[in-house]
Amino acid sequence: MKALQRMALRLALSAAALAATGCASITPVRPWEKGILAKPEMTFEGDTLDLMFTEHILASREGAAGGTGAGGGGCGCY
């Protein structure tokens, strides 16, 4: 019976530890693996002309400009 209890405790501990690590065991995309993300078509707005038009509308109607015009995609280069 005692052995069973100990086993249960260990199982609970393991489960808690695994839950605590969460998604940490899944390795995120590393800086040197972003070749595909860096492609221009990976931007939210793929078409430059269309982006300029949208920006213009936003700037004149809302008085807000900028924030969308970063070059490249998700390269994350420094």
Q: How far is the CB of 17 from other proteins (least distance, A)?
A: 5
Q: How far is the CB of 46 from other proteins (least distance, A)?
A: 17
Q: Which of residues 30-69 bind other proteins (CB under 8 A)?
A: 30-35, 38-39
Q: How far is the CB of 14 from other proteins (least distance, A)?
A: 7
**Using the rule CB under 8 A, which residue among 5, 19, 21, 22 binds other proteins?**
21
Q: Which of 70, 14, 3, 65 is nearest to 40 (CA)?
A: 70
Q: Which pair of structure tokens corresponds to residue 36?
A: 């595909």
